[in-house]
Structures are given as C-alpha cells and as structure tokens.
Amino acid sequence: MLLAYRRALPLLRIPFSVYLMPVYWFGLSALPRAVDGVRALGVFVVLHLLAYPASNGYNSYYDRDEGSIGGLKQPPKVSEELIHLVWLFDALAVLGGWLLSPLFAALVAVYLLISKAYSYEGIRLKKYPFLSTFVVVVFQGAYTFLMTQVGAGATPAAILEPTNLLLALVSTLFLCGSYPLTQVYQHQEDRQRGDLTLSLWLGLRGTFVFAAVGLLSGALLLGFTYWQRHEIRNLLIFLVATGPVVVLFGRWAWAVWLRPAAADFEHTMRMNQVSSLCLSAAFVLMLLWALAGR
C-alpha cells in the first residue's frame, strides 16, 4: 500500500511549486515592514508544500495526462491513491492555515475549492478559455498576493493601501502573460479532451503575442507603482533581474514563429524556470534590502 502512495506522490509535483514562488516573494516585498517572519515561513509551507501540490494532484487526477505535464516529462499513471493524497494535503493546508489565522485558513480553503472547480469533470472551468484564464490569473495572482500578506500578519490598512492593490494587480497581469505559455505544448491533448484552453484558442503565434502584451502591461504598471512609492531601487532591481527573461522569451517566440515544433515541453519548462528564478531573486533582494534598512 505504501508503495502505491509513493508512486502517486510525484503527481503532486511539489518541486513544480517553485514556479509559483514569485507571487509569494512579491507579496512580502511589497510590505516588508508589515509582515512577521515566522508567519511568513508558515505561509510558505502551507502554500508551496501543501496547497499547490494538492491542486496539482487534483488536476492530474482528472486530466490523466499521458504526455508531459508541468514539472514531469513522463508522469506516472494516475491511481486512486493520488486522490487520497490530495485530500490529505487539502486538510493539512487548511489546518496549517488555521494555525496562522482563521481568515488565512478560509482564504486557503477558497483557493483549494476554486482549483478543484478548474479540473473537476462536473464543472471543468478548464474547458472555457476566457473563464479559466480569468480564474487562474486572479487566484494565482492578486488573490495569492494578498492572501500571502494576510497570512504573514500584515494589517488590513497596509493590505488595502492603494499602491499595494496596484502591485496585486501587477501579479495578475504577469500571470495573464505567463499562464497561456504553459499550455503551448499541450494543444493536442487538450484538443482530444475537449478542453479549449486560451492558448489553443489563440494559436501558437497568438499565444506569444498575448503573453507579450500581458507581461509588458504588468511591467509598465509595476514601474509606475514603484515610481509612485518612491522605490526606484526596486524598479532597477526588477529591470536587471528580468533581462534574461526578456531575452529568453524573445528567442523562444522567434523560434516558434519560424518552427512551431519549438513550442515543446523543454522550452516551456526552461522559460518557467528562468522567469521564476529571476523574479524570485529580484523580490527576495528587494525584501532583504528593505529589512536591512529598518
């Protein structure tokens, strides 16, 4: 029995949660003096080691992909043990959230329910390109940004401060740009399942154009907000850190434009890895710099 659970465990794709870390660090860097370090660590555990893996596992349980999925080039077969692990991680995520605050636990529970509506065959938001995109970019973007701050102990006044809400919107715009890129290598499987994803609706070239517009919009709003907050240093850090991301995105887009086969698993994962690490590094540096200046 334990062996069956060990075989199912990779489908939770815990390492894949690293790709969602930028929103967490972004949320903390926006309010460096308003959060508690111990609580912030607890938020990290709840989100990245419990809630996100539970969502990944639930998605895998209903998708039953035979080809590559995010973080796994050759996913194992789906078994009933996977859904048992999902429920366990769900419960631990909500319980862990409750230890931080009841409000944070409630926010985590809502996130988990929405993620299940995305995949559950009776609802399956994933098959509606615009609705699914809206749900993902809002809940993995602004919602998670603000949820992180709630869990880390920020006050309502700090969270609802206008420029902080603008930064929350930035996180959604960044997700709006990056999310369709994660779908480009799954067009065939999505089409076979009847899931009309946004990338499938846009086509390969349209996906990259849409991504460029979303990412550029997010960057412009971020620059404006940092300017409003007199955080020019943060703006410079962001520009330097995202240089490699811009170069990689441009090269990949050009490759796909010339040869559609370049929209494959390897290129997608490389883009995810580089963008996640660069953005996380930028926001961590902003956070540490601000804390050092206390």
Class of the CATH domain delimited by 2-292 = mainly alpha
pLDDT at 8 over 90: no
Segment 216-231, tens digit of pLDDT: 999 999 999 999 999 9
Predicted TM-score (pTM) of this structure: 0.93
Structure token digits, residue 141: 């973007």
Q: 142 near 159, Cβ under 8 Å?
A: no
Cα–Cα distances (Å) from 126 to 130, 166, 207, 251, in that order, read 9, 27, 16, 29
Higher pLDDT, 81 or 215: 215
What span, in angstroms and rounded, lies between the C-alpha atoms of 181 and 272?
9
Structure token digits, residue 136: 């993902």
Residue 246, class by beta-carbon neighbours within 10 Å (0-12 exposed, 13-18 middle, 19+ buried)? middle
Structure token digits, residue 158: 């700090």
Going by pLDDT thresholds of 50, 70 and 90, the confidence category of residue 65 is low
Segment 22-51, tens digit of pLDDT: 999 999 999 988 888 899 999 999 999 999
